[in-house]
Structure 1
Amino acid sequence: MGQIVGAAIVSHHPGLMQCEEFRVLQGAGSDSDLIAGYRRVRERIAAANPDIVVLFDSHWFTTGYHLIDAGSAYRGTYISDEMPWYLFGVPYEYRGHPGFARSVEAVARERGVQSRAIGNPDLPRHYPTINVIKQMQLEAWPVVTVSSCQNCEPRHFLQSGEVIGEAIARSDLRVLLLASGALSHRFNGIDWKPNHPRIFHESNVSSVANIASDKQAIELMKEGRHDLIVENWDRDYRRVPWEAFGAHYLQMIGAMGAGACKAQGEVLSAYENARGTGNVHVWFDTERRGDE
């Protein structure tokens, strides 16, 4: 029987892919702790010893279906159409796991959930996948990417995650889950002036209210109170909103039991700004019970 051996919500923010000199200059001499945090998350992943990594990509927007990447391997050079002036020329090469992706589709068909596996080798890549693979050297494991279906309600994301969780349980795989995306996701304007000279500092997040909302969610994650996050999603988090309307987090938690999940979060980075959005790395040890 397969199992989820760990999970994390991680930032993919593209500024972290800029050269060291540029990042230090932007940060007034202080670099982002998210970068050091990648090393901390990577250590947890290696210790969990997964067979595959399932990555929920908050930029892979799809319509009509939750899609699971069923490619066997990907190789190329990435350029971002969003920020091509600095996020370009990034080589990537990693394996997929078609068998697992197809098993997710099989479970989805049984349950009437709109999830499909796509194995087209020309399927484009997105930087929430590429940046995280590069920063944490995930090439060591097969990586299966899951989309964020844009015409979904929160319950649909939870259902997508539940299907993935069932496919894991039916397998013989040790699976690591990564939700690649921000919490609050409102950008500062193009002519925005930083509130703090350290560009990544939390006070540069788009609003005081969003900072408070993000920190509330982080505290609930630390306590393993995913039930309160899920139950109050529409009131507290959808209105903020989170990146991809929380598709990455909700699918990850859906795979782990949704509101019944008690996995306590360990914060592995500072909470930081990325052009107004709230970013953090939080690790969930799925073998540690919140009631122990």
Structure 2
Amino acid sequence: MNWRISPDGEDTDLIEGFERIRARLDEVEPDVFVIVDSHWFTTSEHVVAGAAHHRGVLTSEELPTVIKGVGFDYPGAAELGAACEQVGARRGNFHSVGNRPQIVNVTDEHLPHHYSTINVVKHLRRDERVLVTSVCQTAKPHNFMEFGATIREAIDLVDCRVAVLGSGAMSHRFHPFDKIVSPLSLSYKPHGISSKEAYEYDMRVLELWKEGRHADVLERYPDYMRFFPEAWFGHYLIMLGALGGADFKGAGRPMSRYENQVGTGNIHVWFEVAGTQ
């Protein structure tokens, strides 16, 4: 079975969307990707995977019959990873007990990899080095934003040109098990989104992005959480923190159609950054 073709005969636009993003990357010429991975959850700390190299074979624990035996081999961004931990300490990011750091660089070769990183690497990477960050499941928006600001300060310390890539969905409520493999669930069309209200809120956020109104997205965050944006929207919030937080005014340009994926809202968006930032 070709899982890319929906029961109504359509193919996803997300793959071609990666090509459109790659064209924009060619214009700005980064030498490092920072990928905020919405599938990599940590609990008591923000983690960057700062090994010098990443090599292995991925079979997804979530979708082992669909994503299996995918090889990967790419260089890490070790200097930037180390700088993130150093800057985190300098900014005073410690837990109150035992001065335990809140931002850590992990170089353990056994650290797992997730398809939300490997898919991005597969479709976007040419010769860029890659630093992957976790999404901490106990963090709140201000924690995510501080982590992003720390990454930005670390980037300024290291001689590299960085593209920050938030890898994750918008509203993220799946269809129930008895319906998850059904024509409605497998359609890429928006009518397959888990609820009309979730779809409408995704559209509202997209419009705010198009207008560069990130402060308004932050203001609406508690309301948006009713529709379960993936990973508490940490992939967006960390990226936004790295781009300047609530003061960032970069417009979001859709790089793909908005699509349903088994009830969840998905789209590629490129955020315009002024000058050489």
| CA–CA separation in structure 2 for the residues paired with 1:51 and 1:153 | 30
- The residue that corresponds to 2:98 in the other structure is none
Which stretches of structure 1, 4 residues or longer, exceed 4 Å deviation after superposition? 193-198
- The residue that corresponds to 2:113 in the other structure is 125
Deviation at 1:195, TM superposition (A): 6.8
Which of 224, 227, 231 in structure 2 is aligned with 1:244?
231
Deviation at 1:94, TM superposition (A): 0.7
- The residue that corresponds to 2:263 in the other structure is 276
Alpha-carbon contact 2:32-2:160 (below 8 Å) kept: yes
Please show how residues 192-207 of structure 1 align to structure 2 within 5 Å: 192=179, 196=184, 199-207=187-195
| CA–CA separation in structure 1 for the residues paired with 2:147 and 2:91 | 10
Alpha-carbon contact 1:93-1:139 (below 8 Å) kept: no
Deviation at 1:288, TM superposition (A): 6.2
| CA–CA separation in structure 2 for the residues paired with 1:99 and 1:215 | 39
| CA–CA separation in structure 2 for the residues paired with 1:158 and 1:246 | 11
| CA–CA separation in structure 2 for the residues paired with 1:44 and 1:261 | 19
Structure 2 stretches lacking a partner, 5+ long: 94-101
Quick one: which amino acid aligns to residue 189 of structure 2? H
Inter-CA distance 197–53: structure 2 relative to 1 (3 Å threshold): closer
Please show how residues 80-159 of structure 1 align to structure 2 within 5 Å: 80-113=60-93, 114-136=102-124, 138-159=125-146
- The residue that corresponds to 1:41 in the other structure is 21
Alpha-carbon contact 1:58-1:147 (below 8 Å) kept: yes
Deviation at 1:139, TM superposition (A): 4.5
- The residue that corresponds to 1:16 in the other structure is none
Identical counterparts, % of pairs:
39
Quick one: which amino acid aligns to residue 266 of structure 2? N
* TM-score between the two structures when normalised by the length of structure 2: 0.92
- The residue that corresponds to 1:10 in the other structure is none
Inter-CA distance 166–96: structure 2 relative to 1 (3 Å threshold): same
Alpha-carbon contact 1:230-1:258 (below 8 Å) kept: no
Alpha-carbon contact 1:57-1:179 (below 8 Å) kept: yes
The Cα RMSD (Å) is 1.7
Which of 260, 267, 270 in structure 1 is aligned with 2:254?
267
| CA–CA separation in structure 1 for the residues paired with 2:12 and 2:178 | 22
- The residue that corresponds to 1:22 in the other structure is 3
How many aligned residue pairs are there? Answer: 267
| CA–CA separation in structure 2 for the residues paired with 1:157 and 1:122 | 25
1:179 aligns with 2:166: yes
* TM-score between the two structures when normalised by the length of structure 1: 0.87
Deviation at 1:119, TM superposition (A): 0.5
